[in-house]
Structure 1
Amino acid sequence: MTFDVDLFVIGGGSGGVRAARIAAGEHGARVALAEEYRMGGTCVIRGCVPKKLMVYASSYLGAFEEARAYGWNVQTPTFDWMTFRHRLDAELDRLEAAYRSGLAGAGVRVHDCRATLEDAHTVRLATGETVRAKHILLATGGRPFVPDLPGAEHVLTSNDIFKLDALPKTVLVVGGGFIACEFASILNGLGVKVTQFYRGTQILRGFDHEARDRVADQIIASGVSLKCGTDVSAMTKTPQGIRVISTDGAETNYEAVVYATGRVPNTQAMGLEKVGLAPGPRGEICVDGWSQTAVPSIYAVGDVTDRINLTPVAIREGHAFADTIFGARPRKVDHDLVASAVFTHPFELGTIGLTEEDARAAGPIEVYATSFKPMRAAFAGNGQKVMMKLIVCAETRRVLGCHIVAPEAGEMIQLAAIAIKMGATKEDFDRTCAVHPTMAEELVTLRKPVRVA
């Protein structure tokens, strides 16, 4: 059988681009890639990167206030959204160009259009052209989910935030996951009056309960009106914005409503039925440990598989796929003990491993935890406390989980993750000398468990 290419990648996000670049540039495969929007995918264009830059932008108001306590004469600051947005647009253009340059340098042929499956070895482009490929990789990522309810056509999603012509004065953020909490914090930090609805009892479901409570407390203390156990019943467009009827019977006008109620795999109208691939319950592409689907020639990586929906995981999956299929170096991606961070402010949440609740259900544990005012904030009169927490197996002494709520928690958890991934015990932490004065030194000075279960 004759093929036009060795590999066709559908999707130009982090996972697909890495797979294409490694397969072509390092292993000499003939590779083509199709992307219907912008190269870089969710992370670079409408996710991690622009969001983190917005986190930085929104943190300066608190920094200005803190500076006064340190003796700086700071005038009343103002924020110009369009100045920031123009700089943001320019940075995203630069990153997209870098992605395209990397693909071109590796010899990947790029099709700037939509591609769908025609059969197990054929991809149909929106131009009408078909390409025969020995292997096909699906890397189409995910998309925001908005429930079907009256007025849903009026809402914004995380995809829209970065393209606003002006910031609203009031906004309702619906959702309790990390995206909702991050955007509630960001908009609040930029001077928007923010209300956040979450239908559950506490935000950040799936994270450690103590850490969830601490993040919720600091979100409220920073000025967000957080309402758990509350959802939207209906919305109507008004001259003033959007009138929201909530499940508690209240009716309130907001200039904008942002839905961040999760993301779902982007598998709509991909032609899965033509190749006999039935998506999973959330629409995900089902794969084995090698990222291979039930159709031997078709693979999938990243958020479209709904395994661990994090950019670094997608990159590793794409790289492992390319090494396995084209580099004669077969390997699976280790999805165990993957660290993550929630970029709320003033304090972030960094986490790896088991929560206290999950660890307790698995066997006897010891919990080491502390809460204190960090030196920098305490000096400025900020009363909020950070949290450091280690979950330890009582039998093996291995550290099963680490949870940090603090400024720069994402930076700290990355380094703690190395030790925990290596199987460090509590005694290994104890033997490590502290760096003083820092917040992270508390991780190696926790002597007595606060709970044993």
Structure 2
Amino acid sequence: MKTEHFDTIIVGSGTSAYYALEALASHQKVAVVAPEPLGGVCALKGCQPKKYLVAHQEARNAIKDLLGHGFETMSKSSWAALQSLKNAFTASVPHRTRKTLQSKARFIEGIATFCAPDALRVGEKTLSAKHIVIATGSLPRRNAIKGSEHLRTSDDFLEMPSLPKRIAFVGAGVIAFEFAYVAASLGSEVTVVHRSNQPLKGFDESMVARFLSATKEAGIRVITNAPVTEVTKQGATYTLITEEGLHVKADAVFETIGRMPNLSVLEGDAGNVQASAKGIAVNAHMQSVSNPHVYAIGDCTDTPYQLATVADEQGKIAGENILKGNHRTWDDALVAHAMFTHPPLVAVGITEEEAREKGLDYAIKEGETASWPSSKRIGETHGAYKMVLSKEGTLLGATLLRHNSPEVINLCAMLLKTKMPIATFKQMALAYPTASSDLKNML
């Protein structure tokens, strides 16, 4: 079988693959291998299509908060029209992605697997390269419980032709709560069932408690310490059965226990690429710890965040390191992340728990914001902030729970990155009244 040779082969077509290709395309002979549909998790099954549904939830809840204070009735919504709007975006992604890939590289459609540490097999083709970049993304994580065939995934939620009256989510992570708020805002009866006592691990615990209070007020039922052991179906009704014997009935049940790395490219172990259930093991240069030919980026790696912004930067780093030798590294410490609920819960930097574990000399500034004019004028009844400050007067970490916080947390990320003294930031004449100007009162 004839082997086709390249400088670099990229496996995948998502955002991390795009940025790796951007770095390499003008300097190398590059091949990109991926199956249809092209575009990756973010554009097809993740942040982009999800935000179409979230934006509608945000608008509905904004009106709801002002009922009796300017608005007299709720607007009527159409799930079908909302899905059509979202589908108009996703439908254009594969063709647009293919056009981009073909303009910058040799694009080969298909599923790749390693046949040697520096070679891949795609159907009847064999491809080799000095470097191979794995950017295969992630898949919904599944549970092996009795009746698991009745469980749908987050991918299925995005494609529902109609919204069920009763919805249950198994797992209380970011995906579950974002979709729970979407469904509840449109009138569904929503229950979230979680196996442990602490939903949303990774966020500050006290801020999660505040968020759960807002969630209860929104009519979303959250059940903790309730591992699901079985799912049954009778007629059109599904029943979740927990370890303690609790029964939760629903018209649709979604398993939202996170996403797992897509490692199909490693099947057969011919690539000598070390990996685990958490993903491909990489060093700070995004290079495989076991095979120097290989770099891995994005959701398929054993790194803490499955976020498009993280994937973008990792793609750039891998591309530059392939071109110029390992000189750029990835740092997980400054990743801003957001949960688009109502209100949104967002964070960057370290939490109080982490500061305590590290033995840092720190101070906490926290408070409620529902009484602030910026909250009262929009009817926001739940709002809070918690800042971790250094003894030198700089920001170490921030967690926010209020309107526009996904935008404000990016400003916090810049304060962290630049180590700007808080006193200096407070001297800036920011546009007012804005959510960003409120940050001065939180620091």
Report the TM-score, using the length of structure 2 for normalisation.
Answer: 0.92
**Any conservation in 1 of the 2:200–2:208 contact (CA below 8 Å)?**
yes
Structure 2: which 5+ runs fail to align? Answer: none
CA contact (8 A) 1:231 1:247 kept: yes
Q: Give, in whole Å, the separation in 2 of the partners of 1:321 and 1:387.
A: 38
Provide the residue aligned with 1:206 in structure 2.
202
Any idea what SS the aligned residue of 1:39 has? coil
Give the count of matched residue pairs: 438
- Match of residue 38 from structure 2: 39
In the alignment, the residues of structure 1 paired with residue 214 and residue 425 of structure 2 have an alpha-carbon distance, to the nearest angstrom, of 28
Offset of residue 364 of structure 1? 2.2
Q: 1:208-357 to 2 correspondence within 5 Å?
A: 208-268=204-264, 270-271=266-267, 273-280=269-276, 282-293=277-288, 294-307=290-303, 308-326=305-323, 330-345=327-342, 347-357=343-353
Contact 2:114 2:265 (C-alpha < 8 Å) held by counterparts: no
1:182 to 169, 178, 184: 178
The aligned residue for residue 89 of structure 2 is 91
- How many Å separate the matches in 1 of 2:172 and 2:269? 34
For 1:55 and 1:236, the matched residues in 2 are separated by 30
Residue 2 of structure 2 corresponds to residue 5 of structure 1: no
Aligned to 1:22: 23
* Aligned counterparts, 1:30-179, within 5 A: 30-66=29-65, 68-72=67-71, 74=73, 76-106=74-104, 108-125=105-122, 127-179=123-175
Distance (whole Å) between structure 2 residues aligned to residue 161 and residue 446 of structure 1 = 37
Q: 1:375 deviation in Å? A: 3.3
- Letter of the structure 1 residue corresponding to residue 70 of structure 2: G
Paired with 2:71 and 2:240, the residues of 1 have a C-alpha distance of 42
Moved more, 370-379 or 228-237: 370-379
Change (3 A) 1:226 1:302: same
- Where 1:274 maps in the other structure, the secondary structure is coil
Q: Describe the shift of the 1:397–1:22 C-alpha distance in structure 2 as closer, same or farther (beyond 3 A).
A: same
Give the SS at the match of 1:258: strand
The equivalent of 2:376 in structure 1 is 378
Q: Indicate conservation of the 8 Å contact 1:118/1:271, yes or no.
A: no
Equivalent residue letter for 1:32: A
The 2-side partners of 1:109 and 1:93 are apart by 23
| In 1: Cα distance, 2:188 partner to 2:325 partner | 53
- Bigger drift between 186-195 and 90-99 goes to 90-99
SS at match of 1:445: helix
Amino acid at match of 2:96: A
CA distance in 2, matches of 1:446, 1:331: 34
What secondary structure sits across from 1:156 in the alignment?
Answer: coil
For 1:412-427, what aligned pairs fall within 5 Å after superposition?
412-427=408-423
Following TM superposition, by how much is the alpha carbon of 1:171 offset from its aligned partner in structure 2, in angstroms?
0.7
Q: % of aligned pairs identical?
A: 28
1:121 partner amino acid? D
Amino acid of the residue matched to residue 103 of structure 1? L
For residue 363 of structure 2, what is the aligned residue in structure 1? 366
Deviation track 1:208-255 (CA, whole Å, cap 9, x = no partner) reads 112211211111111101111122121112212312212331223211
Indicate the residue corresponding to 1:450 in structure 2.
none
Deviation of residue 412 (structure 1)? 0.8
Output the CA distance in 1 between the equivalents of 2:217 and 2:282: 43
Query: Quick one: structure 1 residues 445 and 121, their matched pair in 2 at CA, closer, same or farther if it must change by over 3 Å?
Result: same
Closer, same or farther in 2 for the Cα pair 1:226/1:139, shift >3 Å? Answer: same
What does the per-residue CA deviation read over 1:408-437, in whole Å, with 9 as the maximum and x for residues that have no partner?
A: 211110122111111123323443346433
Q: SS of the residue aligned with 2:287?
A: coil
- The aligned counterpart of 1:401 is 397
Q: Which residue of 2 aligns with 1:193?
A: 189
Distance, in Å, in 2 between the alignment partners of 1:35 and 1:202 is 38
Distance 2:268 2:336 in 1: 32
Structure 1's 367 and 435: CA in aligned 2 closer, same or farther, altered over 3 A? Answer: farther
For residue 184 of structure 1, report the CA deviation from its aligned partner.
1.3
